[in-house]
């Protein structure tokens, strides 16, 4: 969302389209505290990055065009694990983004996905993985229940409905079913192989805070009584070294 609506290196319309140069407003949700704040770009670009640079806590839930508050994008932000307090299934987030005619062009919306990115939620929602843009025919998650995949469907809206073809079928395009995203797919597989070679060691696996909402705590619960204090042993060891020095 940042690349599409706030990054002029990605979205040329932010520089050359008078309908976009006024910038956009981002609603950022704190999923831990269940609070939200609205920041405007480009004026508060750095502050926005300061928040959403921690995606495990801060997520973009809505985007509006600043000059008239027209909704540009909406993103699902709920986390099953935070709602239930434990692992009850994977999150499958979805976004709806408006393009063309006073909004970023469709090509500007898709351009960020020419490369892969790290996202949470690979196997059992417990691992980092590379985001792979794929067409619908390749949307089946296989290797290690992944890699995490994203599909993009494009459609025209007219008179309150999806535009139909002459046969009455919805005119929907499978946007990532295109060789333009081959590089991102290759990057994703290279990253996926590197992460899997690490096995169950961070950073392939999520950090401890995120793992609190997975099945791992049940395993660790069995071991909690096996740990003993080391304070006495440390003090004795230090005392022995002091006496030896004397």
Nearest CA-CA partner of 189 in 222, 224, 149, 227: 149
Nearest in space to 11 (alpha carbons), one of 37, 39, 34, 42: 42
**Tokens (6 digits) for 9:** 């290196």
Average pLDDT across each block of 10 residues of the chain; the chain has 246 residues. List them in order: 97 95 96 92 97 92 96 84 60 90 96 95 89 96 94 91 90 96 98 95 87 78 87 61 64
- State the pLDDT at residue 218: 82
For residue 52, the SS3 value is helix
Question: What does the domain layout of the chain look like in residue ranges?
Answer: 1-99, 115-239
Provide the pLDDT for residue 244: 66
């Amino acid at each position: 969302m940042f690349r599409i609506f706030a990054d002029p290196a990605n979205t040329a319309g932010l520089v050359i389209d008078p309908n976009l140069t006024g910038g956009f407003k981002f609603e950022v949700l704190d999923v831990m505290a269940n609070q939200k704040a609205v920041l405007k770009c480009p004026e508060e670009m750095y502050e926005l990055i300061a928040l959403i640079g921690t995606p495990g806590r801060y997520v973009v839930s809505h985007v509006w065009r600043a000059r008239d508050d027209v909704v540009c994008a909406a993103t699902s932000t709920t986390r099953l694990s935070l709602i239930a307090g434990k692992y009850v299934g994977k999150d499958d987030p979805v976004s709806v983004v408006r393009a063309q005619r006073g909004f970023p062009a469709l090509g500007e919306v898709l351009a960020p996905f020419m490369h892969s990115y790290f996202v949470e939620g690979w196997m059992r929602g417990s691992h980092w993985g590379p985001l792979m843009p794929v067409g619908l025919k390749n949307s089946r998650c296989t290797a290690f229940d992944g890699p995490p995949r994203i599909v993009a469907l494009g459609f025209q809206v007219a008179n309150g409905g999806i535009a139909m073809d002459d046969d009455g079928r919805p005119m929907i395009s499978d946007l990532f079913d295109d060789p333009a995203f081959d590089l991102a797919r290759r990057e994703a597989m290279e990253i996926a192989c590197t992460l899997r070679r690490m096995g169950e060691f961070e950073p392939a696996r999520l950090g401890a805070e995120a793992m609190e909402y997975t099945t791992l705590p049940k395993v660790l619960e069995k071991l909690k009584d096996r740990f003993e204090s080391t304070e006495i042993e440390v003090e004795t060891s230090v005392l022995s070294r002091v006496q030896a020095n004397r």
